[in-house]
Amino acid sequence: MAELYYDDDADLSVIAGKKVAVIGYGSQGHAHALNLRDSGVDVTVGLREGSSSAAKAKDQGLQVASIADAVSGADVVVILAPDQVQRTLYAQDIEPNLKADATLLFAHGFNIRFGYIKPAAGHDIVMVAPKGPGHLVRREYESGRGVPVIVAVEQDATGTAWDTALSYAKAIGGLRAGGIKTTFTEETETDLFGEQAVLCGGTSQLVQYGFEVLTEAGYQPEVAYFEVLHELKLIVDLMWEGGIAKQRWSISDTAEYGDYVSGPRVISPEVKENMKGVLADIQSGAFADRFITDQDAGAPEFKELRAKGEQHPIETTGRELRKLFSWVETKDSDYTEGSAA
């Protein structure tokens, strides 16, 4: 059984007694910085020259500085820029300004796990990774709740790395929901695998194939869109609430029987072997190398794949159909108002 942490397991005064620099003010950065500030932590947001986010952070009442200035005064440096820029950012702007005993905190283990960042021996290296997008991390905190986090320590130079990590996790609201103890290796490899094999890669491909099979057989794209994409959310919500079992309990017996007989036919054992291949490429660093090499070259492969994905006919159908939903809704409310007048 995994080790779990809640608010009572952490001491807020640990992080409240330190100077924290949050580097980046995007999805995670804004949420961490604002939640830390509201938990009484001394936080400075470090942004690059000419950053488009500086005004936003200042408007929200945060201290903003250059990355060099934010880092040089900090006991804890939180690296919340995109994974593919962290290596260069660390080498050029963070490392030269870093206090010898500063803690480095990440929200994803990518750069440490694959060796793109190799901090000196004096630094605690910790991870507090919310299991949700940044905007939810902020919204939940504001409503008195939190998004669950996973917490890890890669290097414990001071002997107090866990205290710092848990205190930070509490300050951003994560331990209100719960924290799970993990390692950088486990977090990185399972995160990449989950998004590639199931959540993003697997699901996107499954939906596209379903849409292609129906439309190629002559069914209307709008109807196909409803059956293979729109309804997916309802099914996933049920799984999220009560597992696959609750989803099967809720659907019709026809759907449930079809699930049992056709699921394994579509996702055959060969798919599991393919998943193992994906995992092997993650573990060996081959995926990371392909991603970073492409990013370093200006992301030609990434951009090409993105453009290709956007051209899939399901996107055109979806765009038109979703417009129709909002048109129908607007018309509905107009009708009500109109009849009252």
Q: Which residues bind ligand NDP (CB under 6 A)?
A: 24-29, 47-48, 51-53, 80-83, 85, 89, 107-108, 129-130, 133-134
* Partner whose binding site includes residue 250, from ligand NDP, Mg ion, none (CB under 5 to 8 Å by kind): none
Give the range of 10-18, 20-28, 187-195, 300-308 binding Mg ion by CB under 5 A.
187-195
* Partner whose binding site includes residue 247, from ligand NDP, Mg ion, none (CB under 5 to 8 Å by kind): none
Q: Is 326 marked within a binding site?
A: no
Q: Is 204 marked within a binding site?
A: no
Q: Is 289 marked within a binding site?
A: no
Q: Give min distance, CB of 108 to ligand NDP, in A.
A: 3
Q: Is 25 marked within a binding site?
A: yes
Give the range of 141-149, 190-198, 204-212, 330-338 binding Mg ion by CB under 5 A.
190-198
| 2 contact partners, CB below 8 Å, separation of at least 6 | 180, 181, 182
Q: Which tokens sit at 332?
A: 């509905």
* Partner whose binding site includes residue 27, from ligand NDP, Mg ion, none (CB under 5 to 8 Å by kind): ligand NDP
Q: Is 320 marked within a binding site?
A: no
Q: Which tokens sit at 80?
A: 């919340």
Q: Is 108 a catalytic residue?
A: yes
Buried/exposed code over 14-49 (b: 16+ C-beta within 10 A; e: otherwise): bbeebbbbbbbbebbbbbbbbbbbbbebbbbbbbbe
Q: Is 27 marked within a binding site?
A: yes
Q: Give min distance, CB of 82 to Mg ion, in A.
A: 11
Q: Give min distance, CB of 48 to ligand NDP, in A.
A: 4
DSSP 143-166: TT----EEEEEEE-SSS-HHHHHH
Q: What is the SS3 assignment for 266? A: helix
Are 100 and 122 a contacting pair, CB within 8 Å? yes
Are 118 and 94 a contacting pair, CB within 8 Å? no
Helix axes 201-216, 313-340, angle to 10 degrees: 90
Give the range of 46-54, 80-88, 188-196, 242-250 binding Mg ion by CB under 5 A.
188-196
CB-nearer residue toward ligand NDP: 68 or 120 = 68
Q: Which tokens sit at 65?
A: 């500085």
Interface with Mg ion: number of residues (CB under 5 A): 1
Q: Which of 33, 71, 191, 193 binds Mg ion (CB under 5 A)?
A: 191
What is the distance of C-alpha 193 from the center of its chain?
13
* Partner whose binding site includes residue 26, from ligand NDP, Mg ion, none (CB under 5 to 8 Å by kind): ligand NDP
Query: One of 30, 32, 108, 123 is an active-site residue; which one?
Result: 108
Query: Considering all CA atoms of the chain, what is the largest pairwise distance in Å, rounded to the nearest integer?
Result: 73
- DSSP β-ladder status, 19-23 and 42-47: parallel
User: For residues 139 and 334, what is the distance between their CA atoms, to the nearest angstrom?
Assistant: 31
Q: Give min distance, CB of 307 to Mg ion, in A.
A: 22
User: For residues 122 and 295, what is the distance between their CA atoms, to the nearest angstrom?
Assistant: 30
Residues that bind Mg ion (CB under 5 A): 191
**Binding site for NADP(+), residues?**
25-28, 48, 51, 53, 134
Catalytic residues, by residue number, are: 108
**Binding site for substrate, residues?**
252
**Binding site for Mg(2+), residues?**
191, 195, 227, 231
